[in-house]
Amino acid sequence: MSEEAWRVSANGLVLQVRLTPRGGRDALEGLSKLADGRCVLKARVRAAPEDGAANRALVALLAKALDVPKSNVTVTAGHTARLKELEIAADSQSGGTALAERLAALTKE
């Protein structure tokens, strides 16, 4: 895809995600383009969308995939929606560029 679902920010990375709760497994499923042209990272989790369980599962999934602490991953928008925005804080040494490279490697088609 020509457009990416993330952008490097001053604190790390801002990521657009389309989450499927009760998806049968926890997985990142690559990039997808929405009808309005936005690019998102598709993710699915086993957790139900109740009491924030699906959001917590998404945070854990991204933290593990990007090898960062869960405390570095925050849902900043879309808490009750399928489309979410997350901020992933980077350590001061590698910055958001290293996170972007890891995400690019994970989503190669």
Question: What's the pLDDT at 33?
Answer: 95
Question: What's the pLDDT at 109?
Answer: 58
Question: What's the pLDDT at 97?
Answer: 85
Residues of the chain scoring pLDDT < 70: 1-2, 92-94, 109
Question: What's the pLDDT at 42?
Answer: 96
* DSSP tag of 70: G
* Whole-prediction pTM: 0.91
Question: What's the pLDDT at 107?
Answer: 84
Chain centroid to Cα 95, Å, comes to 17
Question: What's the pLDDT at 2?
Answer: 45
Q: Rounded to the nearest 10 degrees, how much is the dihedral formed by the CA atoms of 104, 10, 42, 23?
A: 120
- Spell out the domains of the chain, with CATH numbers in brackets: 6-106 (3.30.1200.10)
Question: What's the pLDDT at 1?
Answer: 43
**In whole angstroms, what is the distance from residue 12 CA to residue 109 CA?**
24
